[in-house]
Amino acid sequence: MDPVDLERLIAAALAAQRRAYAPYSQFAVGAAVLTANGHIFSGANIENASYPLTICAERVALFCAHMAAAGPVTALAVVTPTPTVASPCGACRQVIFELAPHAQIVLLNADGSDRRFTTPAELLPYGFGPEQLHER
């Protein structure tokens, strides 16, 4: 990924993290996706007193990009308020696997000093996708 695009993507994820609504967990997460046409879509986790209605930052960003018909997602940045990087939850891994199957993913700690690069296939080995629905 182009270093300038990477820094733009990380800046968007950090900015999104500041807009998280996390009154219950106090675990604010920010995410941003970069599409093939250079657009960036961001998201933050949004909690709810009815916990199952909470949505993660990664899914917010991916759903926004999808709804904008912005084209393929080429990269995803996720920042967590932790001293080391934290990986997306299982639900987010599944959505990433389907909506951003070829994206480069960068996971960041609270201040962005710890950066780990990965792929959807590494996050969800042997993932379930549309292809499996047609294998029956």
Flag whether 12 is marked binding. no
Whether the CB-CB separation of 76 and 31 falls below 8 Å is answered with yes
Catalytic residue among 7, 58, 122, 135, which?
58
Flag whether 92 is marked binding. yes
- Residue 132 has which token pair? 């499996």
Flag whether 47 is marked binding. yes
Flag whether 56 is marked binding. yes
Rounded distance between C-alpha atoms, residue 133 and residue 136, angstroms: 7
Flag whether 86 is marked binding. no
Flag whether 46 is marked binding. yes
Looking at residue 46, what DSSP letter applies? B
Three-state secondary-structure class, residue 108: strand
Whether the CB-CB separation of 62 and 96 falls below 8 Å is answered with yes
Rounded distance between C-alpha atoms, residue 67 and residue 72, angstroms: 12
Q: How far apart are the first and last CA of the chain?
A: 37
135 is catalytic: no
Flag whether 45 is marked binding. yes
Annotated binding site for Zn(2+): 56, 89, 92
Binding site members for substrate? 45-51
Tell me which residues are annotated as active site: 58
